[in-house]
Chains A and B, each alone.
Chain A
Amino acid sequence: MDKQIILKVKNLDAHFGTLHAVKNINLEYQEKSVTAIIGPSGCGKSTYIRCLNRIHEELPNSFVTGQVELKGQDIYAPEVDPVEIRRNIGMVFQKPTPFPGMSIYENTIIGLKLQGGHSKSELMDIAEASLKKAFLWEEVKDKLKKEGTSLSGGQQQRLCIARALAVNPPLLLMDEPTSALDPIATAKIEELIDELRKEYTVIIVTHNMQQASRIADYTSFFVSGDLIEHGKSELIFTNPTNKKTEDYITGRFG
């Protein structure tokens, strides 16, 4: 059962002023798969996924070259509106980012509200479905009017995932989504990601190699902006082809 390629990254370079942070990356991603990006601090892994929904270029003195084809459409083509891309490809960050002053319900459907064109009952249905997919519904269904920031850290992170899922994203990006969470909250998010792979394509940056090996179908290893190795996690973590990868995953380098 061959899965379709949903995302093709071609000759992607990203710069931060004078720093060449991501160097000539060429990768393809299958739909409904989880890919982890690992590598030492400053290796460009966060910058790389920020290129995949066009938020890297928001930073001062930053620019990106190359192509990122999502379902055949280059998101860097001149006619593409970057705001539209950012709205449709959600990103979950290290620290949960529920919008303050907004209820749990409003936080979930904010993306759809900005898109416009949804009736109240549609919004409610989608909010419920998204919160269910994010394993949060049972915990919040009786307090949807409460502020999103009133939830625990792990719940807030799942709220952010629900918010990203509500717009039915073609791709879900996560930048160290569990590094601020305790082991129980982390286990819940990992379980959630395992469930999400049935419907979504997930790319996750993680510092935690165990996490990468547990949840990811594929793993990419970056060092200093270069992609050192990319492959099935079961190969990367059992028999990597590159010495640097071997040294990194066994804790001898990085």
Chain B
Amino acid sequence: MNLTPDFLRDEILKMAALVETVLNKSAKKDVTLSEIFELENEINKFHSHLDDECFKYIALMKPSAKDLRTAICTMKMCAELERIADQAVKIKRSFRKLSKHYPILDLMIEDVERMVKNSINSFVQGDIKLATDVLQHDQVVNELNKNIIQNSANEIKNNTLDFDEGIHVMHLARNYERIGDLATNIAEDLIFLESGQDVRHQVPKQER
């Protein structure tokens, strides 16, 4: 039987590679929506297949310690990755409706793609330091999101930005911010996998 932690790792990395691709392509002008759908479909299949493999691995092999954490983290990561792909589809839809290029989004795209890449790399390398960088970077992305939404709202008010166009820009910022959160979750999963420590929900929410 090939139900081993190494097998689960190999499979999740294949899925992660597809997710990085779909995310990157969703912001590219020359890529069609149907190409994005195809990738997303493949990622969905990975999601079901890997969930099932993790379930079987836990049921049949009764793993403990790090092996058990690997199975649980693979299941969780699998769900986060699938949601990133869903966001990529939304991103592609919004981009198709924009009439021009908005440089303000470029910085956010670059940052979020790097967060996703680093969260996956932290998993590959078992690198808690890299995962911690991802967690810290999430705040930068959250700020960018706030700024873009604020700016777009102001421009709409001042009639310097078309209303529909502005809504799509805001949606895009929101989608990327959401992906940043998902990458953060993956990094938190990795920290749990490597150290057994739960680092979630440690910063109290500030009142606005």
Contact = CB atoms under 8 A, between A and B. Distances in A.
A238 B56 contact: yes
Classify chain B: how many residues form its interface, as a range.
under 10
A149 B1 CA distance: 33
B55 interface: yes
B107 interface: no
Contacts of B60: 213-214, 233-234, 237-238
Classify chain A: how many residues form its interface, as a range.
under 10
A210 interface: yes
A147 interface: no
B62 interface: yes
B61 A234 contact: no
Contacts of A213: 59-62
A69 interface: no
Task: Name A's interface SS.
Answer: helix
Contacts of A214: 60-62
Contacts of A210: 62
Nearest to A211: B62
A237 B1 contact: no
A234 B56 CA distance: 6
Contacts of B59: 213, 234, 237-238
A233 B56 CA distance: 10
Contacts of B55: 238
B1 A194 contact: yes
A217 B55 CA distance: 16
Contacts of B56: 234, 238
Contacts of A237: 59-60
Interface in B19-74: 55-56, 59-62
A214 B59 CA distance: 9
A238 to B, nearest CB: 5
A207 to B, nearest CB: 15
Interface string A235-248: 00110000000000
Interface of B: 1, 55-56, 59-62
18 contacts: A194-B1, A210-B62, A213-B59, A213-B60, A213-B61, A213-B62, A214-B60, A214-B62, A217-B1, A233-B60, A234-B56, A234-B59, A234-B60, A237-B60, A238-B55, A238-B56, A238-B59, A238-B60
